Structures are given as structure tokens and as C-alpha cells.
Structure 1
Amino acid sequence: MGRRSIAHIRREEFARAAFEVLAIHGMQGTTLQRVADHTGASKASVLHYFSNKQSLIETALRQSNATLRKEAVALMNLATTPWERFYAIIEANFSPTTFQPEIAHGWIAMCAEVPHVAQFQRIQAVIYSRLHCNLLTALLATGIDRVAADSGAETISLLIDGLWLRCGLRIGGLNRQEATAQIERVVESLFGDSAERKAAKTKMAELAAALTSRTQ
């Protein structure tokens, strides 16, 4: 794989900075100047890569989702059973590297703009569709019938969003142990008790922790 260009690296740097500024100041308080100051660059440098704030925030949204998707793929490549693939998705959505109050703050700020920006709507629709499809595919592979699997995937997808919202809005945040425990209670209520499922959950949690420690 070839080396990334300087332009690609700078765009990633500014997009990451935009997300961090968004988490601190919200959408209204996020300006190109503040993003520039956050990286020690000039506003002209930001404008060289992004024509306006919307373009910059759009890239930040795509980049934040790409980080989550990368972790999900890494974990799913280690999964060997349908339930392990299911929990790979869950662990990626509550990764210690992303499921943090400050990141949730930025996510909430961006979501608030989705109803008003068509491009944000398209990106978010793709994110939701991919999550639902991945959950549904994993659940169907366990032998659960399609109606129950489809309903379960939707319920869990909505719960993931709700837990991210609680993480961002709750004073002190919501830790990942609490979040995954909430998920597990719902999964058990939907699909019953299962030693195989619990073993898969334990295995993927351990693998997720190991992957996180290697990247820190």
C-alpha cells in the first residue's frame, strides 16, 4: 500500500480537529478559525482543503464513522460463529477508544444538524442501514427467524443510539460496562438465555480489549 499524500494527512488532521472543536463548542461555536487554532494552523490552511464549514464537518462525520467501522471489521475478522460476529458489532459500537463523553458530545452536535443538511441525512442513513444490516445478518445466521431477527436488529440499533445519547448528556457520562450490560439485558429478553451466546460475548469482549491495548 502506497504512502498517503500530505493532502490526505492534512485533511484527516483538520477533520479530527473539527470533531474535537465540535465536542467543546457545539455546531454554532465551531468555526474554521477555531479549527485552525486547534491544530496550530492558519484559517487559510483549512480553507485550502475545505471550501466551507459544512464540507469540513461532513468529512469529520465520515471519518468518525470510518474509525468505528475499522474496529468492527477487525473484530469480525476474529469471529468464528454468528454470535461472535454479533458481539463484534456490539463491542465496536462501545469501544473504549470511541465511547467517551467528549466524543458523544460531538456526535450529538452533528446529529442535531442532520434534519437540516441533506448531505448529513444521506451519510446518517447509510450508517443506520449498515448497522441494521450487519446486526440482522448476524442474528439470522444464529438460526433466529427473520421477523424476530429484523425486529431485534432494529431494537438493538435504537438502543445503541440511546446509550450514545445518554453517554453524551449524562453528567459524568455512561461507561461502556454499563452500556454493554444494558444491551445484554435486552438481548436476553429478546432471544432468551444461551450459554453459547454468553461465551461469544465473553470472547469478543476479551478480543476487543486486546485490540484496544495494542492500538494505545
Structure 2
Amino acid sequence: MPKVGMEPIRRKSLVEAAISAIHARGSLDITIRDIALRAGVSQGLAHHYFGSKDALIASAMRHLLTEYGRQVRREMKKAHDPRSRVSAIIHASLGSEQFRPETVSVWLVFYVHAQESDEAHALLSVYSRRLRSNLVHGLVPLAGERAHRIAEGIASLIDGLYIRKALGSLAGEIRAEQLVEDYVDRELEVRG
């Protein structure tokens, strides 16, 4: 008899094991068996809960996106005006929580995976749309009709600087968050 209430615990364990396996390998060149061993469950149970490695990988991606969303909401609770709302999103996107080694490895692999997987591409598209939408919401009162263009610039900087910082190619003394904040300030000065 299966233990009642174990499914969510095992699912979470398998998702975390998938993240760990991707980090350890640096790619999606892993098997459901590798993931199941890390989670301490049988390969059959992993298949039972997710059906395939691709479904488990998609769940790991959704998990990271959910964690990122939580971080954005935590930062937004501190925001008291439209400009601080924009800063909250920047901080959530480029703050230290997003740079845990496992998180970085998996995000970089997902960016590549999204080029060949419709589901991964769709998940990254949702992330991109939400990021721009949240930025536009904070920028409209500050920049009017230019809000969409500025939001696209901020989103591009966030994604690009995340990759550069993750790969260690951003000069040590340069803070990614500050570069984006400087861009926002310059763009808003143009309107003022």
C-alpha cells in the first residue's frame, strides 16, 4: 500500500534531485535513473509521478520559476512607489538568491534547452512576459508611453547580466544590479 501523503514529498524530492543532477552534470545528459537515485526512490516511482524525464525536467523548471516568483513578491511587498517597484524586480532578478550554484547551472541549461523544447520555450516565454509586465506596471506612471521600451531594455539587461555574472565574465567590482538601476535612472531622466 502506498503511504498516504507521500506523493508531494516524493515529487519535491525528485524535482530537487533533478536540479542537483543537472548542476552536477552541467547539462541535461542525465537519466531518470540518475535522478531517482539522488532522490532515494525507485526509477519506477519517478516514472509513475512524472511519466518521463522531460516532464520531470519541466517540473524542475517550473519549480525555479515559482521560487523566482516568490522572491519577486517578497521584494514587491517592500516597494512603496512605482520606482521602488522597478527596483524590487531588479533586486529579485539579480540578487544573491538567484546565484546559488545549482540555480545558475539549471537556468543556463534551461536557456539552451528552450531552443529545442517547446515546453521549455513556453515556460521561458511566460517568465519573459511576466517580467516585462511587472516592469511596465511600475514604469507607466514614471515614463508613460515609453514604459514598454524601457521595460524591454531592463529585461534584456537583467537576462544578459545574469548570464555574464553566472559565467563569471562580469568584472568583479561591477554590480549587475547597479548597472540596471543606472540605466533606469538615465531613461527616466530623459522624460523628466
Q: TM-score range by the shorter chain?
A: 0.7 to 0.9
Deviation (angstroms), 1:177: 7.3
Gap regions ≥5 residues in structure 2: none
Deviation (angstroms), 1:62: 0.6
SS at match of 2:186: helix
Residue matched to 1:188: 185
Deviation (angstroms), 1:102: 3.6
Residue matched to 1:88: 88
Residues 87 and 181 in structure 2, CA contact (< 8 A), matched pair in contact too: no
AA aligned to 2:160 is G
Residue matched to 1:150: 148
Deviating runs (4+, > 6 A) in structure 1?
Answer: 173-177
Q: Give the TM-score taking structure 2 as reference length.
A: 0.86
SS at match of 2:56: helix
Residue matched to 1:204: none
Residues 154 and 180 in structure 2, CA contact (< 8 A), matched pair in contact too: yes
Separation (CA, whole Å) in 1 of partners of 2:16 and 2:171:
23
SS at match of 1:65: helix
Deviation (angstroms), 1:21: 1.3
AA aligned to 1:51 is G
Separation (CA, whole Å) in 1 of partners of 2:42 and 2:95:
33
Residue matched to 2:67: 67
Number of residues of Structure 1 aligned to a counterpart in Structure 2: 186
Residue matched to 1:23: 23
Per the alignment, do residues 100 and 185 of structure 1 end up closer, same or farther by CA in structure 2, a change over 3 Å counting? farther
Separation (CA, whole Å) in 2 of partners of 1:18 and 1:174:
31
Residue matched to 1:209: none
Q: RMSD over aligned Cα, in angstroms?
A: 2.3
Which has the higher relative contact order, 1 or 2, with Cα contacts under 8 A spaced 6 or more apart? Answer: 1
SS at match of 2:96: coil
Separation (CA, whole Å) in 1 of partners of 2:129 and 2:172:
26
Deviation (angstroms), 1:67: 0.4
Deviation (angstroms), 1:71: 1.4
Residues 100 and 175 in structure 1, CA contact (< 8 A), matched pair in contact too: no
Deviation (angstroms), 1:101: 4.0
Residues 28 and 109 in structure 2, CA contact (< 8 A), matched pair in contact too: no
| Deviation by residue 1:11-56 (Cα, 9 ceiling, x = unmatched) | 1221122122112213342211211222232222212211111000
Residue matched to 2:120: 120
Deviation (angstroms), 1:176: 11
Deviation (angstroms), 1:118: 1.1
Residue matched to 1:213: none
Deviation (angstroms), 1:113: 1.2
Separation (CA, whole Å) in 1 of partners of 2:106 and 2:18:
9
Per the alignment, do residues 101 and 167 of structure 1 end up closer, same or farther by CA in structure 2, a change over 3 Å counting? farther
Residues 95-174 of structure 1: matches in 2 within 5 Å? 95-141=95-141, 143-147=142-146, 149-170=147-168
Deviation (angstroms), 1:59: 0.4
Separation (CA, whole Å) in 2 of partners of 1:61 and 1:116:
15
Per the alignment, do residues 128 and 60 of structure 1 end up closer, same or farther by CA in structure 2, a change over 3 Å counting? same
AA aligned to 1:68 is Y
Separation (CA, whole Å) in 1 of partners of 2:124 and 2:133:
14
Gap regions ≥5 residues in structure 1: 194-216
Please say which of residues 152-161 and 115-124 is displaced more in the overlay. Answer: 115-124
| Deviation by residue 1:87-133 (Cα, 9 ceiling, x = unmatched) | 11111112322223442121111111112111112111111001000
